[in-house]
Structure 1
Amino acid sequence: MSLSLSFSLLFLLLSVTASLPHSHSFSAQHHQPHFATHNYRDALTKSIIFFEGQRSGKLPSNQRMSWRRDSGLSDGSTMHVDLVGGYYDAGDNIKFGFPMAFTTTMLSWSVLEFGGMMKGELPNAREAIRWATDYLLKATAYPDTIYVQVGDAKKDHACWERPEDMDTPRNAYKIDRNNPGSDVAGETAAALAAASLAFRRTDPAYSKILVRRAIRVFQFADKYRGSYSNGLKPIVCPFYCSYSGYQDELLWGAAWLHKATKNPKYLNYIKVNGQILGAAEFDNTFGWDNKHVGARILLSKDFLVKKMQTLHDYKGHADNFICSVIPGVSSSSYTPGGLLFKMSDTNMQYVTSTSFLLVTYAKYLTKAHTVVHCGGTTITPKMLRSIAKKQVDYLLGDNPLKMSYMVGYGPRFPQRIHHRGSSLPSIGVHPGKIQCSEGFSVMNSQSPNPNVLVGAVVGGPDQHDMFPDERSDYEQSEPATYINAPLVGALAYLAHSFGQL
């Protein structure tokens, strides 16, 4: 959706650097490098606690989101496999493997780039990763098979019930040699490989298990090629259809295995297949479905920092992405209040993923003592960080509505998020079962959610900076794990750079 470029964000960029054409005088208070408008440390803590609210399975004794209880304890039993655990992706009670794997990859990447800045939150971030990887190990326990979904989404969506009360079918769906899914398999391999790096120092035995499984899963993804949306279309579509194809996940998976194993065969795979797999050079959307940009940024690090000449082209591709989001230089759309706007459904996922990529690429550029050239405009690492900070600050409350889009952060935040467990009375308050359709009276009411899903980031405002805070409006009011995962890294960077950690 193309919108006219906001003048306010154009002004932001002009105030950040004198290297842009034209000269204006602006208030620079938001762009001072050591001026923090927000408590990023508090936001970081909350962004990680959120994952505890999304847990499925048997909850541990140290569970901090105490209104949640055990759920999905027989998951997988219909197929005689153990699929207990993992995360509900958003406000419903389905376990979708594709976005769960992407969430895991991004949490791991956040820890790899910024874990050293997280201080006391680092163990919590690793716990969030492990809750996912323990499940992904179960889902990939059998060779050439991955269980990619638990639950019938259509029947689940016909109910409004707590995960603890689920009585909808918990069918388990898989991909295998006959029904391949290189997209979800490639992302699962990426998740396991990235997580193996996150645990390499603290739990080397677990790290080895993860990387061995990643190798096996990637072989399956590459050997039996196809999109999981083909064989499982009635099950996974329209919820998590793979729209971008599977080539991006093969490149992404290979990039993470190259990092995790240092085996030259993955670098060779990228060299031989990279042009074909990464063909969508100007596709500049990064999220649970499309990994092209993430792979480019990740691979550019080895060129920038380690001088691997075979990856030279990825620096150029990464620069193209950077130029595509620079206000005043690019064709990217921003709201009048300055928020990057990609699409009306869950737009905040693109805000958080882009912010993460900006601070991460800024880190690589700084190490390499280089910059990005967008036409005649020089873009410095400092500018990238400033743009990322502006996006995160908007999310946390610097916006026309003065509303934080993170639940539980700041004085004003969404009260009626599209989330079953948050909206219905907890088991501690209401021990009796709430039947499938009973909950709709709550879903359709104007009453605030009784259980605060701390740290949840919702889909966010529309292209005019408006947010109705309606529970039924899932496009704007539903949180998701893949919105939070990249934000963890961006917040860790900001908290550290402003001396809060």
Structure 2
Amino acid sequence: MRVPDFTLANMGGVAKLFSLLLLLAVAQAATTNIKNHWNGGFEAETCVPVTQELNGWTIRMIFDQDVWWVEAWVGSPTKISNREYTISSGSHQNAGDQICFNFLGHGQGDIQPIATVTIDGQSGGGNPSSGGSQAGSNPENTGGGGTGGKKNYGEALGKSILFYNAQRSGKLPPNNPIPWRGDSNVGDCVPGGWHDAGDHVKFGLPLSSAATLLSWSIVQFKDGYEKAGQLDQMYDMMKWVYDYFLLAWKSGQQKLYVQVGDGDADHKYWGRPEDMHMSRPCKFVGGNTPGADIAGGTAAAMAAGSIAYRQKDAAYADKLLEGAKSLYNFAKGHRGVFTGGAPFYASSGDADEMCEGAMWLYKATKEQSYLIDAKGYVDLGVAWSLGWDDKKVACQGLLYEITKEDQYKRAVEGYFKNWFPGGDVTYTPCGLAWRIKWGVNRFTANSAFMALLAAEMGIEPTKNRKWAVEQINYFLGDNNHDGGCFSFEIGYGSKFPKNPHHRAASCPDPPAPCTYNQLNAPGFSPHILQGALVGGPDKDDSYTDVRSDYIHNEVALDYNAGFQGALAGIVHLQAVGKMPATNNKCPC
């Protein structure tokens, strides 16, 4: 570089210019700061200065040692080689901002690699952060960070799919997208399926409930998945659970396996699912054992799945539909609730699942007998919520969609009258509809999904869409926790839970041991449970990210189902130009 001549009077300016050039040189050759390391991995942090306005960015990290994969709490990491990674985001950044984040790296041995960090397309790079947290850094991002309330619902949708993939049981496929998960419980009487929550039992009632809502989201908002670039990933994700249902239903034996594993024994184990060696007993419905709640709910999931798969794979859709038909007939002969899994997921009745099963079979076949059955099962009372134990409002909505009869419409309207402000649901200061302390986000997310479905049916579309999007916005950052812009979906944005109540995510890489000590171990969980929606805040918006707090920090299949469906619905609204104007109380 040629430096122009200066007079002695300008020497102060020369010194300043030299200092500026020196700072830029340092920035271009910055290193990360290793905060923690162990056999097989490390935790590091960096802050990258933004020197020009950016509408989306890509950070490039080049390591001096091999790193097998990277997990970052901002953006989407892409592996170029074992020594080069990029992390991209669609968020907007102003000149003078910093993009600060922690990340995990995984490799062989107790490695402490140094990485140079730059932002593609701008001069200047990153310098190591001097502290141990992200406090003071508030870059705008599409996951609820920054000004303007921008949200990337498609990104949130893709991350939710990753959560379900992290819950997989059985022998994992070659395209497994969760590198810290491996084969587990391959000797189960019914292999495959999804682990229920932070534990490893496969419970039929929440499993079928989640699968039904997720299937409904494909049927109703397929274009949302397409727009987000997630349709193939969604089909792949759902086939894992559909295959499990097909194995669990033994039509020739007239048995439906509804639980794999012992809840009490499982909850006494804290470790990797890959390392489980305990007995995993099977429980089934059949013979003299009733269980139409799970059988009817599973028939609903399979029938809805047959519709979702009809255009993609007609032969597979036929297999699901035949299974749903025979299972529904079986359920009619085994009325009553399954009690063999008590006290876990004890159902209050089976009529709602039977109604759901009948309606999805009607939608799949157009056979009037199913519609007649559904009208006999439906309860026109106002539902408390939508969840694994109560599908009342879902059945009411499905019946209204088909019949357009006012009695079903009034029931759905009554549900949202209770849920909207002025009803009997409490609201937090920042506007979250707060139904109950334990896993509050799950009930609100399910109701948001139901509101978007009701809008598609012509039930108060403007009001329902606005409310639903505002609730999802709360989850993705429109709240005041941790200074605001906090996402209750793990891995989304720059601030989110780091310590979910989840065994696998809390375990360090093998061969390091994982025991109950991990439940209260200091520091962040070694793995990011991408896409999981945690239980949620208290009614004053307060929330503590503590691994042992299963009330607020549990994750589960049924927590994410309606949330993911709502995300697909919102992307659909964006695609068709019907996105409502929102007015969140604590905008990010």
Interval containing the TM-score (normalised by the shorter chain): 0.7 to 0.9
SS at match of 1:228: coil
Matched, 1:245 2:349: yes
Which residue pairs with 2:237 in the alignment? 128
Deviation at 1:312, TM superposition (A): 4.0
The offset of 1:42, in angstroms, is 0.8
Give, as a single letter, the amino acid of the residue that structure 2 aligns with 1:170: R
Secondary structure of 1:147's aligned partner: strand
Q: How many residues align?
A: 424
Report if the CA contact (8 A) 1:189-1:217 is conserved: yes
CA drift at 1:500: 11
1:490, 1:102 → 2: CA distance? Answer: 15
CA distance in 1, matches of 2:258, 2:418: 33
Cα deviation, residue 468, structure 1? 1.1
Q: Establish whether residue 180 from structure 1 lines up as the match of residue 260 from structure 2.
A: no
Q: Are 1:431 and 2:536 counterparts? A: no
SS of the counterpart of 1:146? Answer: strand
More helix by share: 1
1:498 alignment partner, SS class:
helix
Equivalent of residue 278 in structure 1, options 378, 389, 403: 378
The answer to whether structure 1 residue 297 and structure 2 residue 406 are counterparts is no
Q: Which has the larger radius of gyration?
A: 2
Match of 2:505 in 1: 422
Deviation at residue 467 of structure 1 after TM alignment: 1.0
The aligned residue for residue 185 of structure 2 is 72
Are residues 1:208 and 2:308 paired? no
Write the letter of the residue equivalent to 2:218: V
Query: In terms of mean alpha carbon deviation, does 35-44 or 215-224 score higher?
Result: 35-44
Contact 2:260 2:280 in 1 (8 A): yes
> Which residue of structure 1 aligns with residue 449 of structure 2?
356
Amino acid at match of 2:179: S
Separation (CA, whole Å) in 2 of partners of 1:217 and 1:498:
38
Question: Hey, what's the Cα distance between the residues in 1 that align with 2:501 and 2:370?
Answer: 41
User: Cα offset for 1:496?
Assistant: 3.8
Q: Where does residue 326 of structure 1 map in the other structure?
A: 420
Question: How far did residue 495 of structure 1 move?
Answer: 2.6
Looking at structure 1, the residues matched to 352 and 329 of structure 2 have their Cα atoms a distance apart, in angstroms, of 15
Q: C-alpha separation between the residues in 2 aligned to 1:260 and 1:408? A: 36
Return the match for 1:478 from 542, 547, 554.
554
**1:123 CA displacement:** 1.3
Which residue does 2:144 correspond to in 1? Answer: none
Identity value in percent: 39
Using the alignment, how far apart are the partners of 1:443 and 1:352 within structure 2? 27
The one-letter code sitting in structure 1 at the alignment partner of 2:469 is: K
Match of 1:257 among 341, 349, 361: 361
Measure how far apart 1:439 and its partner are: 1.4
**TM-superposed deviation, 1:253:** 1.0
Q: Which structure: greater strand fraction?
A: 2
Structure 2 letter corresponding to 1:225 = R
The match for 2:168 is: 55
Task: Describe the superposition over 1:248-290 as per-residue Cα deviations: whole angstroms up to 9, x where unpaired.
Answer: 111111111111111111112223x1xxx33361223110111
Residues 257 and 283 in structure 2, CA contact (< 8 A), matched pair in contact too: yes
Counterpart of 1:227 in structure 2: which amino acid?
V
Alignment gaps of 5+ in structure 1:
1-34, 77-82, 305-310, 366-370, 372-379
Question: With structure 2 as the length reference, what TM-score do the two structures score?
Answer: 0.70
8 A Cα contact 2:380 2:396, kept in partner: no
Instruction: Supply the distance in 1 between the matched residues of 2:397 and 2:223 (Cα, whole angstroms).
Output: 20
2:248 matched residue in structure 1: 139
Matches within 5 A, 1:13-162: 37-76=150-189, 83-119=190-226, 120-143=229-252, 144-162=254-272
Q: Unpaired runs of 5+ in structure 2?
A: 1-147, 578-588
Q: Distance in 1 between matches of 2:408 and 2:281?
A: 41
Q: Give the aligned CA root-mean-square deviation in angstroms.
A: 1.7
CA drift of 1:343 comes to: 1.2
Q: Which amino acid in 2 is paired with 1:348?
A: N
Q: Which segment is superposed worse, 164-173 or 486-495?
A: 486-495
- Contact 1:39-1:500 within 8 A present in 2 as well: no
How far, CA to CA, are the matches of 1:495 and 1:196 in structure 2? Answer: 23
- Equivalent position amino acid for 1:54 in 2: Q
Find 1:411's aligned residue among 473, 494, 498. Answer: 494
Code of the aligned partner of 1:279: D
SS in structure 2 of the partner of residue 495 of structure 1: helix
C-alpha distance after superposition, 1:297-352 (max 9, x if no partner): 12211134xxxxxx442112112112221213x22211122111111111111111
Aligned partners of 2:349 and 2:412: how far apart in 1? 20
- Equivalent pair of 1:52/1:65 in contact (CA under 8 Å): yes
Q: Which amino acid aligns with 1:92?
A: D
Aligned residue identity for 1:455: G
Specify which of 509, 514, 535 is matched with residue 459 of structure 1. 535
Q: Is the 8 A contact 2:306 2:316 kept in 1?
A: yes
Structure 1 residue 446: Cα displacement: 2.8
Structure 2 counterpart SS, 1:118: helix
Whether the 8 Å contact between 1:283 and 1:292 is mirrored in structure 2 is: yes
TM-score normalised by length of structure 1: 0.82
Shift of 1:225: 1.1
Determine whether 1:190 maps to 2:290: no
Please say if residues 41 and 500 of structure 1, whose CA atoms lie closer than 8 Å, have aligned partners that are also in contact: no
The CA distance in 1 between the partners of 2:150 and 2:463, in whole Å, is 17
Contact 2:439/2:551, CA 8 A, preserved across alignment: yes
Does residue 477 of structure 2 align to residue 397 of structure 1?
Answer: yes
Q: Summarize deviations over 1:392-447 as a string: whole Å, max 9, x none.
A: 01011111202211000011111110000000113xxx236x4xxx5111111232
1:240 Cα deviation from its structure 2 partner: 1.0
The Cα shift of 1:238 comes to 2.2
Q: In structure 2, which of residues 275, 280, 291 is the aligned counterpart of residue 165 of structure 1?
A: 275
**Cα distance in 1 between the residues matched to 2:239 and 2:419:** 33
Task: Say if 1:36 and 1:498, in contact at 8 Å, map to a contact too.
Answer: no
- Note if contact 1:422-1:453 (Cα within 8 Å) is conserved in structure 2: yes
Residue deviations 1:121-177, cap 9 Å, x none? 111111221110100100002342110111111011111011000122111111113
